Amino acid sequence: MSLKVIFMGTPDFAVPVLREIVGHGHQVVAAYTRAPRPAGRGMELRRSPVHQAADALGIAVLTPRTLRDQVAQAAFAAHGADVAVVVAYGMILPKPVLEAPRLGCLNLHGSLLPRWRGAAPINRAVMAGDPISGVMVMRMDEGLDTGPVALEARVAITPTMTAGELHDALSPAGARLMAEALDRLEAGTLSFTPQPDDGVTYAAKISNDETRVDWSNTSAAVHNHVRGLSPFPGAWFFADLGKGPERIKLIATEPVDGTGAPGTLLGLDGTVACGDGGVRLIAVQRAGSKAMAFADFARGARLNAGLRFT
């Protein structure tokens, strides 16, 4: 026996989940993902990671622009699925879609709910300096990540871990967790617990405005900001290297001692003063260039101590 599953996801994070479900013998009758989008220098249409993985597995792929019209909802219901599995799909599911599968819709969320409901839980957890995160399988309802939870897996966030590294730890953990959830669902042994009312926080989508480094913050806050946005979308600052302000992306930092006006380069080891303490810049990236060690950047740009970053 196996469950008939509709899989709904878009980015790399969702791909291991799809593969794990198939590996456990469940029948994925359709994969829903976002439509191909222009990307790269040639702006050619590029299929999402889930689209590519589903094609390789021989799974029918659907890319509706909306699920709010009756035609799309009827097509969804016509699959006759037992359950839908949703992993970073990127589209709100209206009530008729949520109710179409016989056993409902299960979502894999990248946080320990109710902390960090919303679009960017991995980035927000690292930016906030959280010591632990995880993934949870929950049954979806019409709220924003408000449904009851069935299973969880926890992952420690080390002081140097980036959002990219946490992403890479949570994705396979989530794949195993969702496969276990489906196996239990099929056996009739999957139970759900309502989320607590206390501890709710929201992980809003990262805006362009908040990616710029604020050197007036504490060294810990600046360091968490950088690693929470690494490798994407990336924290950044302006440096005048002789031809006007140039935008520099920060790849890695570490908190260190430092005293000076916030944003001042205190030494060619990469130490920059913050509002309290300092951070050492380990790796940076200039526009159009590859990431490089700060020492190489400083040498190439002929930096001098006392330069002010903004």
Q: What is the pLDDT of residues 130-145, one digit of tens each?
A: 999 999 999 999 999 9
| Segments in the chain below pLDDT 50 | none
pTM, two decimals, is 0.95
263-267 own/partner pairs: CB under 8 Å, 24+ apart:
263/215, 263/237, 263/308, 263/309, 263/310, 264/306, 264/307, 264/308, 264/309, 265/303, 265/304, 265/305, 265/306, 265/307, 265/308, 265/309, 266/305, 267/305
> Looking at this protein, which amino acid is placed at residue 271?
T
| AA letter at 295 | A
* pLDDT value of residue 41: 76
**The predicted structure's pLDDT at residue 40:** 77
pLDDT at 47: 97
